[in-house]
Structure 1
Amino acid sequence: MIEEWKRIEQKKIASVYLIIGVEDYIINETKKRLLENVLSEDELEFNYANFDLDETPIQLALEEVETLPFFGDKRLVLASNPSFLTTEKNKSKVEHQPEKLEAYLNNPVDYSVLCIVAHVEKLDERKKLTKLLKKTATVIEAKRPNEKEFIAWIQNKIKENQFEMQQEAILHLFELTSGNLTTAMNELDKLMLYKFEEKKVVLQDVENIVVRSLEQNIFLLLDKLIAQDIAGALRIYYDLLKQKEEPIKIMALVGSQFRLLNQLKILEKEGYSSQQAAGMLKVHPFRAKLAAKQARSFTQEELNFALLRVSEIDLELKTGFGNREQKLEWFLFELEDYRKKQKGLI
């Protein structure tokens, strides 16, 4: 658990919080803890406000912060999407007065709690206001966890609920959810409900209950292709079609995966590890680790062929040429034939 959550639960509440990151589970759990520990149920109606700074200027949110609590001791104000603190262009027509926030941070009131939520990887560190905010606020990082951190999160929740979970089951959950903590926690809730009486989750439970993401199914499809199991790859594809996934979307993800394999193969030749490559390509280290393993099963020529065919099929799909459901089928057969020719098998 994040150390700051414990402090919130102990009623050691700061005047200003800053949540930075894209992991929704951490963001939502922090909001939940603030709501539960700053205000009582009776105080919520009069002393809680939630602003989207894409629609509301920061100065109006601060007016709410500086308003005395009504029938209570504290006021809680959440302010999300502070684009004026990032490198992103502000697409809204809202005119912010950042100097108002600077003045407030230098002299915050003691009867309100301001929580700024930045759903981005990082803020613009060059801005004077960003530096001041990070210096004066209690910062909570909602970053995507690595494999070790992910395991710790799952183990903590399992322990809190007085459950047991096999290590291999946790690792399989990590694999099936591609290391997405928010998705994993939702799936873990389902698993604990399913095994409520036994209080123990095993590998087979994860296999039976956890829903694979579309990206995970594409990864497994390529695994089947690598193993020369075309029938297995097609079964996954047909299952996706039954789930109403669009052929153009499936093909786009297949293309995205092959581009990643190609990039990883090139970087590996240049001496980069999968961890280093993940940082350069801005993908999750776990995804890069597994994709690097897949990349080693293809030659550069095979990857070039796959990328060329993917781009041609993408154009065909967008122009309505041919039967769109059959495009991936033909691609799998063509790539398999090309690989066999490369190996002199046909």
Structure 2
Amino acid sequence: MISEWKKIEKKEFAPIYLIIGTEDYIINETKKRLVAGVLGEEDTDFNYANFDLDETAIEQVVEEAETIPFFGDRRLIIASNPSFLTTEKTKSKMEHRTTRLEDYLKEPVEYSILVFIAHVDKLDERKKLTKLIKKQATIIDAKRPNEAEMQKWLQAISNFNEFKMDNSATDRLIELTGGQLTTAMNELDKLMLYKLEERVILSSDIESLVVRSLEQNIFLLLDKMIALDVSGALSIYYDLLKQKEEPIKILALIASQFRLLTQIKLLEKQGFSQQQVAQKLKVHPFRVKLGARQAKSFAYHELTAILERLAQMDFEMKTGYGDKAQKLEWFLFSLQDQRKVQKL
């Protein structure tokens, strides 16, 4: 991936690119680099076209690619949602004459760069057209990285920009951004700007500068409760209230996290690995890893009992019974007491 970006920066373009995957950061960054590398400011209006293949026939895209550039050296054509390469069902009634594309793939013109973006995990490898385009195109993998891949990715981006960031800082950045590459990259851009002179990013920089999402604050709140740090948990809770977060929304996220812990606990008891749990629950593997760590502090029956209490609180909040903020406060205290009893 990084090597292909470097080639684009050097203006070493491939005639055809195929981007496969669902990680928006990689997709958008590749598009941005291609636009900057292929087109000048004056070319964008005349030599750039962006198509949605759910709405545009492929033969029109090919025709656009075969059109000679106007006041420029190259044309850049981007075509998204090539359903004819996948097994995905689409509501679009667009019919594509893919034989026209097959002919173009065999002999692409020199003056156009044609980019296909398949926002899916994989293509339909059984199709003749899929095999042909994968053979002819430069493939950009835009899959969502697992934790190990994300560590390498962040280190590579740091090195590419001539910054140093050790493993502990990288791990903390991943943790605070919930393993979401787009969020992590946005925060890394901010960190690099802040440390532009020193060009070294430390764990302390990440602690002080990275913005925690509401979901991350909920995770940290539960971590505080498990560690018997009620003052720390309440401090996070009060900060959320100061930020005008609604108690009922906070409750919903706490319930969502406990529901995840319950599911992880159950599936682990059935012998599933963390990777299998992530696939089964359709959640990020990093979130499962952190959830599994929290779930170890609870028995399965404790988690189901907590979920019942949270469901009752949700009902009371929605029916106007009692003070909403105070209800959550008492829940945190009661959970703290439960943790203390288990430690005895």
- TM-score strictly above 0.5: yes
The residue correspondences of 1:40-51 to structure 2 (distance < 5 A) are 40-51=40-51
1:270 partner letter: Q
C-alpha offsets along residues 287-325 of structure 1, whole Å, 9 cap, x if unaligned? Answer: 221111111100111111122233334444555555444
Which moved further from structure 2: 288-297 or 103-112? 103-112
Q: Distance in 1 between matches of 2:273 and 2:191?
A: 35
- TM-aligned CA distance change 1:117 to 1:284, over 3 Å: same
Show the counterpart of 1:206.
206
- TM-aligned CA distance change 1:73 to 1:264, over 3 Å: same
Show the counterpart of 1:118.
118
2:174 partner letter: F
Deviation at 1:221, TM superposition (A): 1.1
Show the counterpart of 1:138.
138
- TM-aligned CA distance change 1:235 to 1:83, over 3 Å: farther
1:97 aligns with 2:92: no
Q: Is contact 2:16-2:114 (8 Å) kept? A: yes
SS in 2 for 1:51: strand
- TM-aligned CA distance change 1:248 to 1:87, over 3 Å: farther
Q: Percent identity?
A: 64
Show the counterpart of 2:310.
310
C-alpha offsets along residues 174-228 of structure 1, whole Å, 9 cap, x if unaligned? Answer: 1111222221222122222222222222221111111112221111111112123
SS in 1 for 2:31: helix
TM-score (norm 1): 0.86
Deviation at 1:96, TM superposition (A): 4.0
Which moved further from structure 2: 64-73 or 120-129? 120-129
Show the counterpart of 1:28.
28
Deviation at 1:127, TM superposition (A): 5.0
Which moved further from structure 2: 206-215 or 82-91? 82-91
TM-score (norm 2): 0.86
The residue correspondences of 1:37-186 to structure 2 (distance < 5 A) are 37-83=37-83, 85-91=85-91, 95-97=94-96, 99=98, 100-102=100-102, 104-125=104-125, 128-186=128-186
Deviation at 1:160, TM superposition (A): 3.0
Which moved further from structure 2: 316-325 or 173-182? 316-325
1:263 aligns with 2:246: no
- TM-aligned CA distance change 1:28 to 1:300, over 3 Å: same
Q: Is contact 2:228-2:339 (8 Å) kept? A: no
Which moved further from structure 2: 298-307 or 36-45? 36-45
Q: Distance in 2 between matches of 1:104 and 1:326?
A: 66
SS in 1 for 2:43: helix
Deviation at 1:168, TM superposition (A): 1.6
- TM-aligned CA distance change 1:214 to 1:200, over 3 Å: same
Which moved further from structure 2: 252-261 or 76-85? 76-85
1:230 aligns with 2:246: no
Query: What's the C-alpha RMSD, in Å, of the aligned pairs?
Result: 2.9
SS in 1 for 2:196: coil
Show the counterpart of 2:187.
187
Deviation at 1:57, TM superposition (A): 4.3
1:26 partner letter: I
The residue correspondences of 1:261-300 to structure 2 (distance < 5 A) are 261-300=261-300
Q: Distance in 1 between matches of 2:261 and 2:16?
A: 43
2:277 partner letter: A
- TM-aligned CA distance change 1:141 to 1:321, over 3 Å: farther
Q: Is contact 1:123-1:130 (8 Å) kept? A: yes
Q: Distance in 1 between matches of 2:81 and 2:150?
A: 26
Which moved further from structure 2: 56-65 or 280-289? 56-65
Which moved further from structure 2: 134-143 or 7-16? 7-16
Q: Is contact 1:302-1:338 (8 Å) kept? A: no
Show the counterpart of 2:215.
215
1:50 partner letter: N
1:253 partner letter: L
2:261 partner letter: L
1:238 partner letter: Y
SS in 1 for 2:154: helix
Q: Distance in 2 between matches of 1:50 and 1:319?
A: 50
Q: Is contact 2:226-2:339 (8 Å) kept? A: no
C-alpha offsets along residues 65-84 of structure 1, whole Å, 9 cap, x if unaligned? Answer: 23221122321011223455
Q: Distance in 2 between matches of 1:159 and 1:340?
A: 46
Which moved further from structure 2: 2-11 or 262-271? 2-11
